[in-house]
Structure 1
Amino acid sequence: MHAVYRYFGMELALEEVIGTVKSLEGGGTLAVMLGVDALKRGFDATIYSYNLKMFDPSWKNDDNDTLINNLEHQLQYKSGKKFVQATRAYQSFLHLGGRIKFEDLHRDLLKRYLVQNIPILTGLSATYLYDSTREYTNRKNQSVFDPIKGEPVGHFVVLCGIKGATVYVADPYKENPYREKIITM
């Protein structure tokens, strides 16, 4: 999120962004929590969601008020700290004017934004992308790599440009094993 703010000329200390973005009780954050922070700073924010645990596909044409109500009603049947926290974050995002879209992920969707020089903040599985061992957080709030006890972890990168079939990716992870590799679509 810090990189996107800087791209649009908002000079904030990284610590300030970290301090204002809500996080999950067990650590980490969600795209919707980043979106809430952006909306509070005066940005527009749209989330393209593929989260079938949170959103039913039949909701794709619902307005924000209906989505907020559907999310609330869903809590009568689903629980868990992370699920409730995510639900509340989505409701806040929608109340603040954020948009949720359910368009299929394809090349033209990404290109639509990148040709306009609009960066795309995207969440992905770092465990899968970097072929990394799963992780868990110990009692000292430290990440521990463990292929048995661990869970897959997420990571955010910024798709920040396009030239022909090449998409440029800004990845804050300093030990990214693909740092010098060009990925084309």
Structure 2
Amino acid sequence: MAQFEVIATPLAGLKLIRRRCSEDSRGYFSRFFCAAELNAVGFSKPVAQINQTLTRRCGTVRGLHFQAPPHAEIKLVSCLSGRIFDVAVDLRRGSSTFLHWFGVELSAQNRESLLIPQGFAHGFQTLADDCELLYLHSTAYAPAAEGALHALEPRVAIDWPLAITEMSERDRQHPNLTSDFQGIEL
């Protein structure tokens, strides 16, 4: 039996992954990652890096970050505690959903993850205090390839569910897109 339910989103390649769970009186068992199953739905490279974050304050926004080719990455983002509104923005040049965004609530309770393909920016807003996330990346962080969008980019117009209470100085400094931005060539 498949350990994951894969749910398509309106953005091609972006998938919501729901982990199946076996429960009994002791607790539960859930497979977090399976290369064979997730390869078939888009995580088509080995895991190169795993990152963990803790964000303390409700309403905080982190992102929107991406890595440009040749370091473009696939991400699998999961919330281990708390609740977040997770967002992916399509930056792929020529995509029919270029600059469209998709957001979904991730939490430990719903056991869902967002599988983000190459060519997307990613960010999130905490919906509770003390949110802990785990990210699986197909490519190691490459500072020279890092790119970002401002979380309040008017051409994208993300509808954040809460007032933004906190952003890092670095994220506040991300520029808005220029009128000639045509996307990432993969």
Structure holding more strand per residue: 2
Give the structure-2-normalised TM-score: 0.24
| Largest Rg, 1 or 2 | 1
State the structure with bigger RCO (CA 8 A, min sep 6), 1 or 2: 2
TM-score w.r.t. the length of structure 1 is: 0.25
